Amino acid sequence: MAGAGSAISVKDALDTSLAENTRAAYWKGWSRFAAWCRSRDLDPMAATPDDVAGFLVTMASEPRSPRATTGHGRPLALGTIRVLIAAINRRYREANRNSPAGDNRVRSVLRGLGRLEARRPRRVKALRVQEIARILARCDELAADMRQRVIAARDAAVIALGFAAALRRAEICALEVADIEFLRRGEEVPGAFVHVRRSKTDQLGRGERVAVPEGKRVRTVSRLRAWLQLSGVASGPLFRTMRRGGHVQERPMHPTDIARMVKRWARAIGLDPADYSGHSLRAGFVTSAAAHGARLDKIMEVTRHRGAGMVLRYIRQADAFEDHAGAEFL
What's the helix, strand, coil split of the chain in %, to 5?
Answer: 55, 10, 35
**pLDDT score of 156:** 97
**pLDDT score of 138:** 96
Q: What whole-number distance in Å separates Cα of residue 187 and Cα of residue 198?
A: 32
Q: What whole-number distance in Å separates Cα of residue 253 and Cα of residue 262?
A: 13
CATH for 129-318, among 3.10.20.30, 1.10.260.40, 1.10.443.10, 3.40.1190.10?
Answer: 1.10.443.10
Determine the 3-state secondary structure of 199 from DSSP: strand
**pLDDT score of 27:** 92
Q: What whole-number distance in Å separates Cα of residue 257 and Cα of residue 272?
A: 18
CA distances from 189 to 49, 161, 240 (A): 59, 15, 24
Nearest residue to 29 via CA among 55, 53, 54, 49: 55
Write the DSSP symbol of residue 205.
Answer: -
Rounded to two decimals, the pTM is 0.66
Q: What whole-number distance in Å separates Cα of residue 159 and Cα of residue 275?
A: 17
Same fold, 15-118 and 129-318: no
Q: What whole-number distance in Å separates Cα of residue 286 and Cα of residue 307?
A: 14
Q: What whole-number distance in Å separates Cα of residue 53 and Cα of residue 88?
A: 12
**pLDDT score of 34:** 95
Q: What are phi and psi for residue 184, nearest 5 degrees? A: -120, 135
Q: What whole-number distance in Å separates Cα of residue 169 and Cα of residue 157?
A: 14
**Pair 255, 196: CB distance under 8 Å:** no
Segments making up each domain of the chain, as ranges = 15-118, 129-318
**pLDDT score of 1:** 47
Question: What top-level class would CATH report for the domain 15-118?
Answer: mainly alpha
**pLDDT score of 328:** 64
Each residue's pLDDT expressed in tens, for the chain with a length of 330 residues: 444 555 666 566 656 666 677 888 899 999 999 999 999 999 999 999 999 999 999 888 876 665 555 555 567 778 888 899 999 999 999 999 999 999 999 999 888 887 776 655 556 788 999 999 999 999 999 999 988 999 999 999 999 999 999 999 999 999 999 999 998 887 788 899 999 987 666 556 677 899 999 989 999 999 999 999 999 999 999 999 998 777 899 999 999 899 999 999 999 999 999 889 999 999 999 889 888 888 888 888 888 877 777 677 766 665 665 665 565 656
